[in-house]
Amino acid sequence: MGEIATSERQITLFCNSNSSRAKQTLAFAKAEGLPILVVDMLKTKITGTQISELADRLGVEISELVNQEHPAYIKKFAQHDFSSEDWIKMIQHNPTIMKQPIALRGNITILVETPSDIIKI
C-alpha cells in the first residue's frame, strides 16, 4: 500500500492552483458533480515518496513528471542526466515544473491533458 490514500468515492487531484489547466479541470469536475479532494502542490509540500508513487501509478519515470519545457525549468536547470533523487528534489523545491494535474480514484491514476479528461476517472 502506498503513502497516497485513494478512494473509489472521491477523486484526489494533485495540482498547481495557479495553473489554468488545473482551474479548468476543477471547474469541470465540480460542474459534473464529482467529489474531489484538491492537493495544491504550492501550498502542501509533496513528499519524495508521493512523487515516486505518482510516477509508478502513471507508469512513467520520475523524470517524465517534469515539464522540461516549463520556463522555470529552462531558467534554473540545464539538460543533464539526473538521478531519481535529483528529480524528486527538483520537483519538491520547484513544484511548478511538475506535469499536472494528476487525478487519482481508487486504482486509477491519470495525467489530465484536457479538463474533460477528469470524467475518464
Q: How far is CA 53 from CA 2, 4, 19, 28, 33, in A?
A: 7, 8, 22, 26, 27
Instruction: Determine phi and psi for 38, rounding to 5 degrees.
Output: -95, 130
**The domain at 13-120 falls in which architecture?**
3-Layer(aba) Sandwich (3.40)
Q: Give residue 94's pLDDT.
A: 93
Q: Give residue 40's pLDDT.
A: 97
Three-state SS for 117?
helix
Instruction: Determine phi and psi for 37, rounding to 5 degrees.
Output: -115, 120
Average pLDDT over residues 69-82: 82
The pTM of the full predicted model, rounded to 2 decimals, is: 0.91
Q: Could you report the per-residue pLDDT of 10-47, keeping only the tens digit for each?
A: 999 999 999 999 999 999 999 999 899 999 999 999 99
Domain ranges of the chain: 13-120
Secondary structure of 18-81 as H, E, C letters? CCHHHHHHHHHHHHCCCCEEEEECCCCCCCHHHHHHHHHHHCCCHHHHECCCCHHHHHHCCCCC
Average pLDDT over residues 50-65: 96
